[in-house]
Amino acid sequence: DVQLVESGGGLVQPGGSLRLSCAASGFSFSSYSMNWVRQGPGKGLEWISYIGSTGYTIYYADSVKGRFTLSRDNAKNSLYLQINSLRAEDTAVYYCARDAPPALDYWGQGTLVTVSS
Amino acid sequence: DIAMTQSPATLSMSPGERATLSCRASQSVSTNLAWYQQKPGQAPRLLIFTASTRAPGIPARFSGSGSGTEFTLTISSLQSEDFAVYYCQQYNNWPTYSFGQGTKLEIK
């Protein structure tokens, strides 16, 4: 079965940094592009980043561009999101999701990032 | 950027009824549209892609229609497990995506 497991969330002060991870299993990770989508408390879904299967093609939403860095390690079946200069509005559950155009077909359970002093 | 608008924000219905949820795009997305279901404390689940194709394992009571800027998700006979929040998502600008704000389907 396809599994995506996020980790690395937590409480961080404004201006701080975190590194989120997404461990994939049950499919050929190196063959799929991946995404991160976040959801603020009581809010809707916001797509934030995409990475191609080889890691060379990366896109970011304007809201995170310049502060977030997406990478992957296909040898470890893992996806990483480095998030810097955190703001209160970055507080959210962060999901990794497999890209199976034309949609996101598998999602992890998410990891909570809380930005607060 | 393509903006997605869902209506209504909340839909109150009874089990067994037919539910119709709407999604409008700010510009044409052809049939590059998906629908997701999200229950409290859970990740979203893909229901429909290419506007009308059910994802594997999705019951036949879920159907999608539309093209261009107007889309509909229909649940033919509501079951108790269908009460959730539903999101539409466009991928016309793949690999950048945008979601609607969601429609909460609640028990009347």
Buried b (16+ CB within 10 A) or exposed e, B76-105: eebeeebbbbbbbbbbbeebbbbbbbbbeb
Cross-strand partners of A19 = A82
From chain A, the residues in CB contact with B95 under 8 A are 33, 35, 50, 52, 57, 59, 99, 101
Quote the tokens at residue A66: 């310049």
Touching check for A59 and chain B: CB below 8 Å?
A: yes
pLDDT of residue A43: 96
| DSSP string computed for B18-58 | -EEEEEEESS--TT-EEEEEE-TTS--EEEEETTTEEPTT-
Judged by DSSP in three states, A8 sits in coil
State the smallest CA–CA distance between residue B30 and chain A in angstroms.
12
Beta pairing, strands A3-7 & A18-25:
antiparallel
Express each pLDDT in A97-113 by its tens digit: 999 877 999 999 999 99
Alpha carbons A14 and B16: distance in angstroms, whole number? 48
- pLDDT of residue B46 exceeding 90: yes
Mean pLDDT of B59-69: 98
Express each pLDDT in B1-38 by its tens digit: 899 999 999 999 999 999 999 999 999 999 999 999 99
Say if residues A63 and A75 touch (Cβ distance below 8 Å): no
pLDDT of residue B75: 98
pLDDT of residue A101: 77
Express each pLDDT in A89-99 by its tens digit: 999 999 999 99
Mean pLDDT of A16-20: 97
Judged by DSSP in three states, A27 sits in coil
pLDDT of residue B92: 87
Which of A5, A54, A104 has the most B C-beta neighbours within 10 Å, making it the best mutation to test the interface with B? A104
